[in-house]
Homo-oligomer: A and B are copies of this chain.
Amino acid sequence: MSPEVRKTAEALREKAFAGTKAVDWVRGLTDEVGPRISGSPQDMAGVAWVLATLKAAGFTNVHAERVMVPAWQRGGETGEVTAPVRQKLILAALGGSPPTPEGGLEAEVVEMASLEDMESKGAAAVKDKIVFFNKRMERASEMLGYGYAVDVRAKGPSRAARLGASGVLIRSIGTDHNRLPHTGSVDYVAEVPKIPAAALAIPDAEMLERLLLRGKPVRVRFTLTCGDRPEAESANVIGEIKGSSKPDEIVLLGAHRDSWDLGTGAIDDAAGCGIVIEAARLVGLLPKHPPRTIRVCLYANEENGGAGGKAYLKAHQAELDKHAAALESDSGTDRPTGFLWTAGPSAEPFAKEIAAILEPLGAGTLLPGGPGADTGTLKVAGVPMFMVRQDTSRYFDYHHTANDTFDKIDPEGLDRNVAAVAVFAYCAASTPELLERIPPDKREEPRRPDRPVSRTR
């Protein structure tokens, strides 16, 4: 990296660290648009908001790229223990769940510690019952706890259906003790019937656990009126800071514009939208733009389908070789501690230089990892992938709950992330040569939920 590039990157870091407008973008997307689940009216309101915001912020080539998205819709949802005592249960349908029968689904509850526990007990234990997956997510500074616990949400409903269960309840995948359930998507498989599935708030899951411990059969009734609606139109929204000498080469900064429906999607992922918009905007304010173009893409449908990431890959096939690097921001406003990266080995000195510049932010560590769920679709083309490493020890208190609202935003954490992303974007847009791409044998996305992963879908 040249001394001039390094000096400019350090100045960007200092400027962002001192305070940015990122919090304004987050406030706008949460207060003025609100919850933005795919296929909802607010999803399209979010498209309009981002288009207007990028234009007003000085981006060029601002446009929407059409994406068809699933349009699952939440309805009413109630639950109660009906025996041996009566107690209300606070729960939320998981994304993709079918409705229960009218009047609710009532059955005896059978508790399972994990998918493996259920498989070992088999159909005899499960048939016609409501399976209660009681797998506890541990608090951790990385995403380990989530990766460990989330399988019961993603795979539990179809696995339980295969064994004849009538419905599934899970202990919310989260680290709080609030009576606010954590929703999230289910990977229903085609071969077995879709059964209703909901997440219990953690205090409610713990009450159910205590009642089950007493040894008497516990029955639960729950009612969901959610369901799928026809696919709907949505969009990836793009804006650019045009490169000064190699404008066809692209550094991509991604975040997702959609959110779950319970909160206003502040940490997940208005925060990421604010971070990448503001980082690119700050680079755009420099007296001279870096050689390459910095492109922000605010993706559609990260949460329940990934249609935005797939659509980007398809729409930009012709220029994938020109993608110099991609970074994704989707971990809230928790403070950066370093970078996760995946690229060819000769890119390491670049990554180390970025880390050195970010050391004064407390963000000087480097680990292999990433990509995110959206930019990750470009891995097949070997695009070098980066992600700010963040301390997510509080993130899963709010993730996918009604509590994901603007007041959870840490403005200083947001600015620190802007600083990290601006430094990365400027430097990646300024290297003399393109960074070495991910070796072909490493372009399959790893499936290792037992170690730090960056997917929070």
Q: Which residues of A contact B (CB under 8 A)?
A: 27, 31-35, 85-88, 90, 177-180, 202-203, 206-207, 210-211, 263-264, 401-403, 405-408
New A-B pairs, 14, CB < 8 Å, besides A87-B264, A203-B407, A207-B264 = A27-B210, A31-B207, A31-B210, A31-B211, A32-B85, A35-B88, A177-B408, A179-B401, A179-B403, A203-B403, A203-B405, A203-B406, A206-B406, A207-B405
Do B405 and A86 touch across chains, with their CB atoms under 8 A apart?
A: no
Complexed CA–CA distance, A27 and B87 (Å): 13
A86 touches which of B34, B211, B407 (Cβ 8 Å): B34
> Which residues of chain B have C-beta atoms less than 8 A from A179's C-beta?
180, 263, 401-403, 405
Complexed CA–CA distance, A403 and B177 (Å): 8
A88 touches which of B34, B178, B180, B408 (Cβ 8 Å): B34
Do A85 and B31 touch across chains, with their CB atoms under 8 A apart?
A: yes
Q: From residue A203, how far is it (CB to closest CB) to chain B in Å?
A: 4
> Top 5 nearest A-B pairs by Cβ distance?
A203-B405, A179-B402, A203-B407, A34-B87, A177-B407
Copies of this chain in its oligomeric complex: 2
Do B31 and A87 touch across chains, with their CB atoms under 8 A apart?
A: yes
29 A-B contacts (beta carbon < 8 Å): A27-B210, A31-B85, A31-B87, A31-B207, A31-B210, A31-B211, A32-B85, A34-B86, A34-B87, A34-B88, A35-B88, A90-B402, A177-B403, A177-B407, A177-B408, A178-B178, A178-B403, A179-B401, A179-B402, A179-B403, A179-B405, A180-B180, A202-B407, A203-B407, A203-B408, A206-B406, A206-B407, A207-B264, A207-B405
Q: From residue A361, how far is it (CB to closest CB) to chain B in Å?
A: 26
Q: With A86-B34, A87-B34, A406-B206 in contact, is A180–B178 under 8 Å at CB? A: yes
> Which residues of chain B have C-beta atoms less than 8 A from A206's C-beta?
406-407
Complexed CA–CA distance, A61 and B263 (Å): 52
Complexed CA–CA distance, A422 and B34 (Å): 52
> Which residues of chain B have C-beta atoms less than 8 A from A87's C-beta?
31, 34, 264
> Which residues of chain B have C-beta atoms less than 8 A from A202's C-beta?
407
Complexed CA–CA distance, A34 and B207 (Å): 11
Complexed CA–CA distance, A355 and B87 (Å): 41
**A177, A263, A407: which has the most chain B beta carbons within 10 Å?**
A407
Complexed CA–CA distance, A232 and B177 (Å): 34
Q: From residue A30, how far is it (CB to closest CB) to chain B in Å?
A: 8
> Which residues of chain B have C-beta atoms less than 8 A from A406's C-beta?
203, 206-207, 210
> Which residues of chain B have C-beta atoms less than 8 A from A32's C-beta?
85
> Which residues of chain B have C-beta atoms less than 8 A from A408's C-beta?
177, 203
Q: Which residue of B has the minimal Cβ distance to A85?
A: B32
> Which residues of chain B have C-beta atoms less than 8 A from A88's C-beta?
34-35
Q: Which residue of B has the minimal Cβ distance to A35?
A: B88
Q: From residue A171, how far is it (CB to closest CB) to chain B in Å?
A: 12
Complexed CA–CA distance, A32 and B211 (Å): 9
Q: From residue A46, how far is it (CB to closest CB) to chain B in Å?
A: 12
> Which residues of chain B have C-beta atoms less than 8 A from A33's C-beta?
85
**A85, A90, A180, A203: which has the most chain B beta carbons within 10 Å?**
A203
> Which residues of chain B have C-beta atoms less than 8 A from A34's C-beta?
85-88
Complexed CA–CA distance, A405 and B178 (Å): 9
> Which residues of chain B have C-beta atoms less than 8 A from A85's C-beta?
31-34
> Which residues of chain B have C-beta atoms less than 8 A from A402's C-beta?
90, 179
> Which residues of chain B have C-beta atoms less than 8 A from A31's C-beta?
85, 87, 207, 210-211
> Which residues of chain B have C-beta atoms less than 8 A from A86's C-beta?
34
